[in-house]
């Protein structure tokens, strides 16, 4: 099927759905476009079940539908959600949550004559049971690995006991995996919930036609209010389409059929952005560009565990020999921050510019010369990537040629790349890591020796007894400032061995209709439309 055919099929389906949604509306009850937020997910949504909120598309939708005990704000602080407050035991292992009494599930006949009911502590017991049950194949079950037990002390109090103290724990359970769902919709298995997912969030499920469109409607019972005591959310509905082409998504934004587009496809970056990374002036009358930091590090990784790993001197030389500012300026059009520190990105406690390698081609050449005195035969490095990131990899290869290190770029399909990273097939490869939760431990876990891929995220198979010991020590430190110092030291230990070449810390670029107000994207790239509104 051609792209043109897909697009016409998509437009036809949208028309049918739109007419169906409007059926029964009179001319006096026309849809107010200022109350509808329209966005597109080119990568589709595979599930509205929070235990499957692994992909960004699923996560965005689930964040509109569900709530957890706690949440993270735009400044990466833990805030109350369904839990209005909590206490932590002195040993850091017991968390006791006091729940709000005004949080209600979305309306559904399963709740009986009242069509809804308040959330109580035992709902979290049910939701956690479901998340950890391997039969449910939840992608978020791993967040339960350090939980010893949990229970409802009464309808208002929920308690969690950890196996080991873990200071980032609140950030972990702020993830959508830990959202609350009602047991009434699972009495006949998963079918009722799958067909009509019910949560407590600012929006509730209305309709979903796979690969075509999803509609969420305002939850009239939502528990949050603004500072003028107006019940949130402001919007009446969220319409999500699934145009598969990013360039089609941009055209729909220009036409006014979408209210937001997140990030750019490299193929049309030059069309939308100026040389200095700002919005092209020909679009500025109708579109606004919002840049937000994103807790993600893009890097090259070495595999260190087969006896044929690339020598440490060459790894350090590659770190010294790459001008990262040029990547941001010329290849990224200003969309990111040069990785001047280690692996921990800017914005997280533990980041330090002192842990990075400054651009120093003389130092790089010296390291290469030292290596070649011992191993005089020429060494060719193979860097593996997927097609989407060839430009950055080819730039790197050109920079390495300037310091006397020959590098070939090996382009493979996405599935081959994922499998090769996990199994150690590639000695040197492009990768990126985005935060699951807002704590530097999330990044440092990639270098803990017990997390070797494929079972864990340590793709480099880096190991260091000193790193492991200090990593465990960080779990016992409840003082945030002291823990940040430990994180900084961990990043330093790892970077001295150079199992990676950090390239840049990522950034989210939001392109919005100028009528859209109050829209922000959190540093963990979580979409929140609770306080968003549109001018008429």
Say yes or no to pLDDT of 25 above 60.
no
Distance of CA 162 to the CA centre of its chain: 25
**Model confidence at 65: pLDDT above 50:** yes
The reply to whether 382 and 527 lie within a common domain is no
Q: Are strands 237-241 and 36-40 parallel, antiparallel or unpaired?
A: parallel
User: Comparing C-alpha atoms, which of 217, 213, 215, 189 is closest to residue 202?
Assistant: 217
**Does 282 reside within a domain?**
no
Mean pLDDT of 439-457: 94
Mean pLDDT calculated for residue range 290-317: 93
Assign residue 80 the CATH number of its domain.
3.40.190.10
**pLDDT-above-90 percentage for the chain:** 75
Relative orientation angle of helices 465-475 and 480-497, to the nearest 10 degrees: 160
Q: 480 versus 264: which is more confidently predicted?
A: 480
SS (H, E, C) 264-278: CCHHHHHHHECCCCC
Q: What Rg do the C-alpha atoms of the chain give, in angstroms?
A: 25
501 plus 479 within the same structural domain: yes
Distance CA 273, CA 330 (A): 12
In sequence order, the 6+-apart residues with CB closer than 8 A to the CB of 443 are 297, 343, 344, 345, 348, 433, 435
Q: Are residues 526 and 428 in the same domain?
A: no
261 pLDDT higher than 60 = yes
H or E stretch including 121?
helix 121-132
Q: Which residues lie across from 507 on neighbouring strands?
A: 293
Per-residue confidence band for 44, with pLDDT thresholds at 50, 70 and 90: confident
- Give the integer Cα–Cα distance in Å for 266 and 270: 8
Judge whether 341 and 355 are in contact, CB under 8 Å: yes
Q: What pLDDT does 246 receive?
A: 78
| Residue 455 included in any domain | yes
Tell whether the model's pLDDT for residue 427 goes beyond 70: yes
Number of domains in the chain: 2
- Answer yes or no: do 478 and 331 share one domain: yes
* Residue 250 included in any domain: no
Quote the pLDDT of residue 387. Answer: 93
Q: Are residues 57 and 186 in the same domain?
A: yes
309-313-315-318 Cα dihedral, nearest 10 degrees: -140
Asked, for residue 171, whether it belongs to a domain, the answer is yes
> What angle is formed at CA 504 by the lines to CA 498 and CA 507, rounded to 5 degrees?
145
Q: Which domain holds residue 196?
A: 33-241+515-534
Q: Which residue has the higher pLDDT, 478 or 265?
A: 478
Q: How confident is the model at residue 335 (pLDDT cuts 50, 70, 90)?
A: confident
Q: Do residue 39 and residue 119 come from a single domain?
A: yes
CA distances 478 to 131, 171, 466, 475, Å, are 27, 14, 21, 8
How far apart CA 435 and CA 212 sit, in angstroms, is 29
pLDDT-derived band of residue 436, with 50, 70 and 90 as boundaries?
A: confident
Q: Answer whether residue 423 is part of any domain.
A: yes
Contact 466, 493 (CB under 8 A): yes
Has residue 7 got a pLDDT over 50? no
What is the domain-level CATH number for residue 411?
3.10.105.10
In a domain, 7, yes or no: no
**Least confident window among 124-133, 258-267, 356-365:** 258-267
- Look at residue 339 and tell me if it is in a domain: yes
- Give domain status of residue 131, yes or no: yes
Q: Do 210 and 315 share a domain, yes or no? A: no
The model's confidence at residue 23, banded by pLDDT at 50, 70 and 90, is: very low
Residues 454 and 350 in one domain: yes
398 and 498 co-located in one domain: yes
Other C-beta atoms within 10 Å of 42: how many? 16
Same domain, 298 and 209: no
Residue 37 in tokens: 């937020």
- Out of 112-126, 326-340, 465-479, which region has the weakest mean confidence (pLDDT)? 326-340
468 and 524 share a domain?
no
Tell me how far apart the alpha carbons of residues 79 and 93 are, in angstroms, rounded to a whole number.
20
The model carries a pTM of 0.85
Same domain? For 187 and 326 the reply is: no
In the DSSP assignment, the letter for residue 509 is E
What is the CA angle 250-253-258, rounded to 5? 125
Give residue 29's pLDDT: 55
């Amino acid at each position: 099927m051609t792209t043109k055919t897909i697009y016409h099929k998509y437009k036809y389906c949208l028309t049918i759905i739109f007419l169906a949604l409007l059926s029964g509306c009179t001319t006096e009850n026309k849809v107010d476009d200022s109350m509808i937020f329209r966005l597109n997910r080119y990568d589709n949504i595979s599930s509205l079940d929070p235990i499957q909120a692994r992909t960004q598309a699923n996560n965005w939708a689930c964040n509109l539908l569900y709530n957890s005990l706690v949440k993270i704000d735009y400044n990466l602080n833990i805030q109350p959600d369904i839990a209005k407050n909590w206490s932590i035991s002195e040993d850091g292992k017991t968390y006791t949550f006091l729940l709000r009494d005004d949080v209600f599930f979305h309306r559904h006949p399963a709740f009986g004559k009242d069509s809804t009911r308040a959330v109580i502590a035992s709902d979290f017991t049910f939701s956690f049971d479901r998340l950890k049950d391997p039969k449910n194949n939840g992608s978020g079950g791993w967040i339960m690995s350090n939980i010893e037990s949990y229970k409802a002390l009464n309808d208002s109090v929920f308690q969690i006991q950890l196996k080991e103290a873990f200071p980032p724990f609140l950030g972990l359970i702020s993830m959508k995996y830990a959202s609350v769902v009602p047991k009434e919709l699972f009495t006949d298995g998963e079918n009722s919930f799958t067909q009509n997912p019910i949560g407590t969030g600012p929006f509730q499920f209305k309709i979903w036609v796979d690969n075509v469109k999803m509609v969420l409607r305002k939850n009239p019972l939502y528990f949050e209010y603004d500072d003028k005591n107006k019940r949130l959310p402001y919007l009446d509905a969220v319409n999500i389409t699934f145009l598969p082409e990013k360039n089609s998504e941009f055209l729909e934004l220009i036409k006014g059929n979408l209210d937001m587009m997140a990030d750019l496809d490299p193929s049309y970056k030059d069309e939308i952005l100026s040389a200095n990374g700002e919005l092209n002036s020909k679009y500025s009358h109708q579109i606004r560009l919002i840049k937000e930091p994103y807790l993600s590090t893009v890097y090259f990784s070495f595999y260190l565990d087969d006896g044929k790993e690339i020598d440490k001197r060459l790894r350090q030389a590659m770190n010294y020999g790459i001008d990262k500012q040029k990547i941001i300026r010329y290849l990224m059009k200003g969309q990111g921050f040069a990785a001047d520190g280690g692996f921990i990105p800017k914005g997280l406690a533990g980041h330090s510019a002192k842990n990075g390698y400054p651009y120093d081609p003389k130092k790089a050449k010296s390291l290469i010369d030292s290596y070649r005195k011992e191993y005089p035969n020429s060494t060719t490095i193979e860097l593996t990537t997927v097609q989407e990131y060839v430009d950055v990899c080819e730039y790197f290869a050109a920079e390495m040629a300037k310091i006397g290190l020959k590098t070939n770029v090996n382009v493979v399909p996405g599935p081959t790349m994922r499998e090769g990273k996990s199994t150690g097939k590639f000695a040197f490869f492009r990768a990126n890591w985005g935060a699951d939760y807002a704590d530097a431990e999330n990044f440092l876990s990639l270098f803990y020796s017990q997390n070797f891929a494929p079972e864990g995220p340590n793709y480099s198979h880096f190991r260091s007894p000193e790193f492991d010991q200090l990593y465990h020590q960080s779990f016992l430190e409840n003082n945030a400032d002291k823990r940040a110092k430990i994180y900084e030291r961990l990043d330093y230990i790892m970077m001295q061995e150079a199992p990676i070449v950090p390239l840049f810390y990522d950034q989210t670029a939001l392109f919005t209709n100028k009528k859209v107000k109050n829209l922000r994207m959190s540093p963990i790239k979580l979409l929140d439309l609770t306080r968003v509104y549109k001018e008429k």
